[in-house]
A and B are shown apart, each in its own frame.
Chain A
Amino acid sequence: MNYGELFRALSPEAVLVAGALLVLGVDLALGRKKIAEARWNAAARTGILSIGLAACFTYAVGASGTAFDGALVLDSLTRATRFAVLILAGLSLALLPGTVRLRHPAEFVAIVLFATAGFTVMAAAQNLLVAFLALELASLSLYVLAGFDKSRPESAEAALKYFLFGGVSAAFLLFGFSLIYGLTGSIEIPAIARQIGHSPGSPLLVVALVMVLAAFGFKAAAAPFHLWAPDVYQGAPAPAAALIASASKVAGFTLFARLLWSGVGDATGQAPLWMLAVAILAGASLMLGNLVALAQRNLRRLLAYSAIAHAGVMLLGVITGGRFGPAALIYYTFTYGLATIGAFGVIAVVERAGRCDTLEDLAGLHRRSPLLAGCLAVFVLSLAGIPPLAGFFGKFLLFSQALRFGGLSGPAGGLAFLAIALSAVALYYYLLVLKQAYVAAPAAGCQDSIRVPAKPALALLLAAALLIALGVFPGSALGLAT
C-alpha cells in the first residue's frame, strides 16, 4: 500500500472534493449578505475552476498503468473518460448562473462536484468494491440533485422514483458482485476474469451476470429497466437532468464495459453469454425508445425516450468495444452527452422566460432567440445523427464496427441494421422539435425575445462548437481515447 501513489492516482478527485468544500466554505463566509444571483455566480465559478484544475491533474496523471495494488487503473480509457465527464460536468455547472432560481447555490454546486468525483473514480475503478463505492457516491449525489427544486412536487417525485429504482438496482449490483466474489474469491476485475476463464459456464455465474446486467440496465436507462428515466428527466431541475443524462452515462458505460470486456479474455471465437444478454437489452432499448418517443408531446420526456434509444446504441458499443477498443464507445457517449446537456441547457434558458414543458412551448424560438434556436438545431440534429455533426460519426463508427463483428449474423450485426432502420424513425420526432423551434410562429402571450445569460450562452456555444468540431475532425478525439 503506497498512499503517495494512491493520492497521485486520485489527485483529480482530491481537487474536486476540495473544491466542493471550498464552494461551501466561501458561500458560508461571504455569501450570506449577497443576492442569490451573485451567490450562484460565485459558486458556479469556483466549481468550474476546480473542475478545470481536476482536468489539469488528470492530464498530469496520464496513462500510467495500475495503481494501489490494482484497485485503480490509469489507462487511456480512464483518462478519456475523466476528461469527458469533467467537460460535461463543467458545462452543466456553466448552465447554472442566470437560469435557476433555486435556493442553496453552494450546496447544489458542491453536490455536482461530489457526483463528478464519483464519475471520475468510476472511470478508474478496477476493483468491485471501488466500483461500487464510486457508483454509489455518484448515484446518491444525483438523487439529491434530482430533488433539489423543493418548490415543485415533480422534482420530489423525480428524486423519490430515482432513489427507489436506484436503490433496488444498487442492491442487485451488490448481490451480483457478492456472487462473483463467492465464485472467484477475488474482487479485482483481472483476477476475476482469469478465474472465470478457467472454469466457465457455472450457473451461479449466470445469476450473477443477470444481476449485474439488471443493475447497469437501471443505471443506463436501458429497456426494460428504463421506467424511471422519463419521470426524472421531466421532474429534475434542468441542469441536474443534464448531468444525469450525460456525465453519468459516460462514466457508467466505461465502468460497465471494463467489467465485461476483461471477462471476454480469449473467447473471441464464440459469442459469450453476456453478449447475448446485452444484445437483447440493446434491441429492446432501440425499439422501445424510438417508438415511444414518437408519441411524446413533452420535450423532456421526448429527450428521455431518445436517451433510452441512444442507450441501445451504446450497449452495441459495449459489445463491439471488446474487440475494437473503447474509442468508439467513449466517443459516442461523450458526444451524446454534449448534445443532451445542450438540449437541457436550452430548456433551462427557455424555462427562465416562461414554460418549457411541451414541444409547443418552443414555438417560434427562432424569433425569440436565434442563438438558442441555432444551438438547439445543432444539438437535436447531432442526436438524430446528421452529418457533419458528431452524433453521425459516432453512429457510423459503431455500426461499422458492429458489422465487422461477426458479420450480419453476429450478435451485433443485426442490431446495427435495426439501429440504422430506426434512425429514420427517430428523425421524425427530432424534426418535430425543430419544427416548433423554426417553423411554428410564437404562441400568443409569449413572443418576447429571450435574453440568454452570458455563461449559459457560452456553455451552449461551446457544446455546439465541440459537436461540430468533433464531427468534422473525429480522428483527433479518437486518437485521445486509444
Chain B
Amino acid sequence: MSALPFTIYVSFAGALCALAAGTRARMVALVTAVLGFGLALVAAGAFSPSPGLQTLINVSWVGELGIRYHLAADGISLTLVVLTGLAATAGVLFSWNVEERAGEFFALYLALIGGVYGVFLSADAFTLFVFYEIAIVPKYFLIAIWGSTNREHGAMKLVLYSFAGSALVLAGLLWAHAAGGATGFGLGELAVAAARIPREGQIAMFALVFLGFAVLAGLFPFHTWAPTGHVAAPTAASMLLAGVVMKLGAYGCLRVALPLFPAGFAFWQQPIAWLAIAGILYAGCVALVQDDFKFVIGYSSVSHMGFVLLGIAAANPEAVAGAVLQMFSHGVIAGLLFAVVGRMIYERTHTRRLADLRGMPLHRALPFAALVFVLAGLASMGMPGFSGFPAELAILVGAWKSSPAWALAAGAGVVVAAAFTLRAIQVSFFGTTDKSVALRNAPVLHLEPITLPERAGAIVLVAATAYVGLNPDALLNWIMPALQSPLMQATLKGGTP
C-alpha cells in the first residue's frame, strides 16, 4: 500500500525525463506508465479491504491554514488508481507513432496522469484540488497541439468548462470551510465542520461543489465540452479524457460533494437523478444519428457516464458500487473504442465519416480492429461476460430500490446504447457485404497493418474488461467495504428518499 504515493511521483518524474528525452520520450513514457500500473497492482495485491480510508502519508503542508499533504486510499480509490495505470499504459501504446514534438507530448501526458493519480489518492480537500487543477492545463496543450478536427476550439472549450467547474468547487469548499469554522481542509474535518452549517447553507454549498465536479463528469446539460473535446483530441488524450478524466468528476462527487453535505444531497437527489437519466437518453439518441465515428463514441461516453451519475444519485450500496464498477468498466471500454476509431481507423483511412467508412471493407482490411471493436462494442452494450454488464446491472438494481421510475427510464437507455453501438459496428466495419463491391475497392485500400504496440494495448484492455466481467467480485470486494466508512454511511443513510 505504501507504494501508492509513488504512482504520483513516478509520473511527474517521468514527465520531466520525457521532456529531456526528446525522440526517445515514448520509451520513457512507457516505462513510467508501466511502473505506475505495476505499483498500483502491487499495492492492490497487498490491499486488505476495510471501511474508511487507509492513510498512506499525512504530513503538514501549510501549517498556518491547517493544510495537510494527506494521501489515503480505500477500495474505491484503489479501483480507480488501477484503472488509471491501465489506461495510461494503453494510451502510451496507442500513441507510439507520435513523432511531432514527442518529448513535450509525453511530458504533458505523464503530468496529466500524475495529477489524476493525485486526485484519486487525496484525503485532504486542498491536496485534491491542487492535483485536480494540475490535471486540467495539460489537456489544453495535448488537444490544441496534437489534436485533429477543430482542435483549438475543442481544447479551449474543454479547459474552460473544466476550470469553471473547478472554480465552483473551490468556491463551495472555501465557503464550507469558512462557514463551518473548520481548522483544516481534511475531508473528515470539513465534513464535521459542514455538519454545523444550517441546512440552507448545505444545500447551496452542495450545489456548488457537486455541479463543479459534475461538469467534468459530463452531467447533462453541461456535457457539451466532452464530445467536442474528445473528437478534437489525439487518440491517447481521448482515451485518457473519456477513460479517466471524466472519472475525476464522478469521483469528486462521490468523495467530496456527497459525504460533506448529506443534507444538501438529500435536497438535490431527485434533480440529479433525472439529469443523469436525461444525459443517458439524450446522449444516446444523439450518438444514434452522428456521422462522425468519433462523435458516436464521444456521445456514448456521456451516456455511460450518465449511469455513473445515476448510481451515485441513487445512493444505496448496490448503486454506488455499481457506479464505481461502471467507472472502471467505462474507463477501459471507452479507451478501447477511442483507440480503434482514433488510432486504428482514422490514422489509416484519414476519415472518420461513417458514410465514407461504409464504402470500405474494413473488416477484411483490418480484421484485428474489427474484432476489437466488436468486443468493445459488446462490452459497451452491457453484454454478460464483460465488465459493463455487472456494472450497469448493479446500477439499475440500485436505482430500482430508490425509485423504480429511474430504473425504467435508465433501462431504456441500455436499449438506446445497444442501438447506437450496433449501428456503428455495422456501418463502419461491415458496411459492404456485397462481395463485388468489396473486391472492387480492395486494391484501393492499402492500409498499413496493425502494429505490435496497438495489438498489445488492445489485448490488455480487452483482457481487463473480460476479467472484471467474469469476476466482478475482484473489484466489488474492494469497493463494498469502502462504502461502510462513516463518511459514506452518512450519505447512504441521508440519501434514501
Contact = CB atoms under 8 A, between A and B. Distances in A.
Interface in A39-91: none
A421 B156 contact: no
Given A397-B65, A475-B61, A387 B133 contact: yes
B174 A427 contact: no
B442 interface: no
Contacts of A423: 163, 167
Nearest to A476: B62
Contact of A400 (B144, B163, B177): B177
A158 interface: no
Interface string A390-432: 0011001101100110011000010011001101100110010
Contacts of A431: 140, 156, 159
B62 A475 contact: yes
Given A400-B65, A431-B159, A438-B145, A407 B178 contact: yes
Considering residues B137, B152, B174, which has the most beta carbons from chain A within 10 angstroms of its beta carbon? B174
A428 B160 contact: yes
Contacts of A408: 175, 179
Contacts of B133: 386-387, 392
B141 A439 contact: yes
Interface residues of A, number: 35
Interface residues of B, number: 31
Nearest to A421: B167
Contacts of B178: 400, 403-404, 407, 413
A438 B156 CA distance: 14
A83 to B, nearest CB: 19
Nearest to B181: A404
A479 B65 CA distance: 12
A435 B141 CA distance: 8
B179 to A, nearest CB: 6
A162 B14 CA distance: 48
B164 interface: yes
Nearest to A403: B178
Given A431-B156, A478-B64, A416 B145 contact: no
- Chain A facing B: main interface SS: helix
A387 B130 contact: yes
A381 B152 CA distance: 18
B422 interface: no
Nearest to A475: B62
Contacts of A417: 171
A327 B62 CA distance: 13
B163 A424 contact: yes
Identify the interface centre among B65, B144, B160: most chain A CB within 10 Å of its CB.
Answer: B65
Contact of B174 (A399, A434, A478): A399
Interface string B154-166: 0010011001100
A294 to B, nearest CB: 12
A438 B141 contact: yes
B45 interface: no
Nearest to A432: B156
Interface string B115-135: 000000000001001100110
A388 interface: yes
A322 interface: no
A474 interface: yes
Interface string A453-468: 0000000000000000
B170 interface: yes
A270 to B, nearest CB: 19
B443 interface: no
Contacts of B271: none
A387 B134 contact: yes
A235 to B, nearest CB: 31
Contacts of B179: 403, 407-408
Contacts of A438: 141, 144-145
Residue among A416, A431, A435 with the highest chain B CB neighbour number at 10 A = A431
B164 A424 contact: yes
A475 B164 CA distance: 27
A428 B156 contact: yes
A300 to B, nearest CB: 23
Contact of B62 (A387, A424, A478): A478
A427 B63 contact: no
Nearest to B147: A439
A474 B63 CA distance: 10
Given A386-B137, A387-B133, A421-B167, A475 B63 contact: yes
A142 B65 CA distance: 37
Interface of B: 61-65, 104, 126, 129-130, 133-134, 136-137, 140-141, 144-145, 152, 156, 159-160, 163-164, 167, 170-171, 174-175, 177-179
Given A386-B137, A403-B175, A474-B62, 16 more contacts: A386-B134, A387-B130, A387-B133, A388-B130, A388-B134, A400-B177, A403-B179, A416-B174, A423-B167, A427-B159, A428-B156, A428-B160, A431-B156, A475-B62, A478-B64, A479-B64
- Interchain residue pairs A-B with the least CB separation, the first 8: A403-B178, A424-B164, A387-B130, A404-B178, A439-B144, A424-B167, A420-B171, A475-B62
Interface of A: 327, 366, 381, 386-388, 392-393, 396-397, 399-400, 403-404, 407-408, 413, 416-417, 420-421, 423-424, 427-428, 431, 434-435, 438-439, 474-475, 478-479, 482
10 contacts: A386-B137, A392-B133, A404-B178, A413-B178, A420-B171, A428-B160, A431-B140, A434-B140, A438-B145, A482-B64
